[in-house]
Structure formats: structure tokens, C-alpha cells
Amino acid sequence: MKIEEIALKPEISKAIHDLGFTEFTPIQEQCIPQILQGKDVVGQSSTGSGKTAAFTLPILQHITAGKGLQVLVLTPTRELCVQVSEAVHEFGKYMHVRVASVYGGVGIEPQIHAIRKADIVVGTPGRILDHMQRKTLTFQHIKYLVLDEADRMFDMGFIEDVEMIIHQVPRERQTLLFSATMPTAVRHIVEKHQRHPINITSKVHVEKHLLHQAYYVVSYHDKFSLLVHLLKKHPEGLSIIFCGTRRESDLVSRNLKTQGIKAMAIHGVLTQRRRMDALDALKSEHIHVLVATDVAARGLDIRNVSHVYNYDVPKTSEEYVHRIGRTARAGSEGDAVTLLADRDYQNFDSVLRDRSLEIKREQLPQFEKIRFQREQRGGFRGEHGGRPARGGYGHREESRGRPGQHRREGGPREEHRQGGFHKKPTGPRRPGQYGFGERPRHG
């Protein structure tokens, strides 16, 4: 659908034109008319589908700048909060709409001043609650409540916070919820807090003719060496490397730098400034490689990504699709490469249960063996020097406190513990047990 086919304020249309958009995406095409009609909406969509514009444009159509706080948008992470705020500002710049970004990890006083003049507040639940307790944020004139990336928000342990916030928002409002999946917690919120919502789905589809998916079977000790080989073989474009833990992403990033590769890590433990510096450096192409936990797979709009590397294999096909969805966008080709070591087979088998995925095995190339330096008290040690250090290649997010306890970072719960190492299957292995034939043997 062409932009001109939906009548929007001239100021909004001009801002859209400035951004170079000429057509609505499927999620926008379906959501905007329903929101304009005042309907509550549940939108199932993925990162990069255009959902921010899907709720921002119709909201801007119905609010007036300078009339006080009218819109509250809840996001799970600081990065998504900043990203949504920037998008809302761009779309509403000719309306002179004021947007306040509210998230933890930074000083609260500048946010208090911004809220006083804001028409729209975009924030993470933890910091929103902080302002509510300080009475620096009130919701009596809220017309629109948006829950963005709801499944991610509840997976991070925010459901009680979100409930507390919703109960303070006027009942006579329009509630919009966007989520990639619909787990029980999300369905509960929909049933409890939305009025006859319109359900709209725009699922992730892998463009098979544009996205080349491959996997390499490699020894655990040679995984990093192969990664360096592939990165240097394909230096063009931007690359995202997904690791299973915060610790591993830091170590991989640090080791890549020793190989002359411009890389930065991003995950929940980093300070807000370092996280935003990493994203800004990637967008401005000062670095070419982002090493990330799954916090970067959802919610962050990073464009022109040519390669996605699964350094650690995700647990489900859904997580896999969200990762590889970072590349092969807007008609461009992309590569999704999975490095499959011994301990990754159980996860990879889960990924391959999605029969629509076509992941081709590639022959292992010859590559230089590189010593992976793993941090340890008193310095570093090579990966070949015995057992991996605690928190190595498994899928355990490190956090303080008791097992399973969420860790707050400046208010929001950024990432949570994801369990320990996978148990090895017991009993005899049959051919095809792992989804792609006999389990390869490594020399």
C-alpha cells in the first residue's frame, strides 16, 4: 500500500517523505487503519517489520503537541527505548511533539525535567516505576498505552511491574500490544486489559532466495579459529556474532580485536553509554562486527547486516529465525552461518525441527589455528589449556544472587539466567537423531 492511500496529517506525511518511505509494510498496512478507528490491537511481528511506525503514525494523528502527557510506550530494554524514542521524534518532528526516554542506568534528574514537557513517554518498566514512586510521572491524561516486545518484556521478569503500571493508567484508553510470540503471560495481559482487540499477524519469513544458510561442523577448540577465518574471508558489510552468554561475548570480542578485527560486544551488563557506543559505532561503520547475546536479536534495528554468525547455537528454531532475520533485508542478500561444535548438537536438533529451514552443511575449509585467550584470575589462558573457565560455551547467563533470580541494572531487569549446561543424551544414538544424519566424528 502506498503512503498516500492513508490520509495522515501533512506534518506526518512530510516526515515520512523525509525518511524516504514510499510504501507501508504489511504490519503497518493492517494496523494503522484499525488504530485510527480507535480499536485495541494485538500485533504479532518481528524486529524490522516496521511495527514502531505501525503504532506511532496513527497515535500522532490523534494527539496534539503541548497538551501534556498523552502516550505511554513500554519497552523491555534501554536500547529499544532509545530506538523507539528516536523514531517517534522523527515522525513527529513537524508536529513539534516532545518525547521523553525513561530508562535505568543513567541519571534520573534529566528525565524528570523531560517528562514535565513530554507529550509521549517511552520507557522501561523498572524506571517507570521509579518515577511513579517519586510522583514525577502521572498518567491521568494518558490516551494510548503501548506494550512493545511484550513477550521479551515478560520473559525478562517484568510482568508484575507492567501490571502495576497498567493499573495506574486510565481505563478509558486505547491499548496496543506488539509481540513476536504469544506465550501464556502475553495472552493473559491481552484478555485482562484489552477490549475486543483486533489480532494482526505479520510473521518472520526467511527469504530463501536471498538468505544463504550454512553450518560448519567444527571441533570446539577450533571454533574461534574458524570464525576468524570466515570474518577475514568476508570483510565486506556488517556482521553480528551471537554468543550464548555475556561472558562469552566479551571474550570473543576481546580475542577478535587481537586479530585485527574491529569488534565490540553488547549485552545487559554493559553500561548504557558503552551499549549505545557499540550501536553507534556499528551504524556509522567505525566497527564491522558486533558480538552480542540475544538482547540484540530482538528490538534493535540494525541495518545493512550482511552476515550473521551463530557462535553458540540457539535453543529453538524461533530464536534461530529471529537471529538470522537481522540480515537479507530490503531485497539484499545475506549469509547466516552456524558453527556447530560437539556441545551444540542438542540445540541444533531443536532448530531443525522447523522443516521450512534449509541449512546446508559446508565443507570445513583450511584455516590457521589461533590460540583463544580465556580470562582467568591472574591473566588469560589458552583455550587448549584444559577445561574451559566457568561460564564458557554453555548457555548460562551470569548473574548475582540466588539461582534463577533476576538481576536489576539501574531499574530494569535486563537479562536473566537461562539455565546451566545442556545434559548429554543418554543411551545409544540412532542415525538421524540430531536431525541431519549421524553425529559427525572429529579428529
Statement: the pTM of the whole predicted model exceeds 0.85: no
Domain boundaries 211-382, corresponding CATH code: 3.40.50.300
Domain 3-202 and domain 211-382, same fold? Reply is yes
Poorest-confidence range of 16-25, 140-149, 434-443?
A: 434-443
pLDDT band at 25 (very low <50, low <70, confident <90, very high): confident
* Per-residue pLDDT at 401: 34
Which residue type occupies 112? I
Give 442 or 81, the one with higher predicted confidence: 81
pLDDT above 70: residue 411: no
**Rg, Å, the chain Cα set:** 23
Superfamily name and number for 3-202? P-loop containing nucleotide triphosphate hydrolases (3.40.50.300)
Cα pseudo-dihedral 174, 178, 183, 188, rounded to 10: -10
- In the chain, what are the domain boundaries? 3-202, 211-382
Query: DSSP assignment of 198-249, as one string?
Result: EEEEE-----TTTEEEEEEE--GGGHHHHHHHHHHH--SSEEEEE-SSHHHH
Give 30 or 296, the one with higher predicted confidence: 30
Among left, alpha and beta (phi > 0; psi -120 to 50; other), residue 22 is alpha
Q: How many CB atoms lie within 10 A of CB 69?
A: 21
pLDDT above 90: residue 10: yes
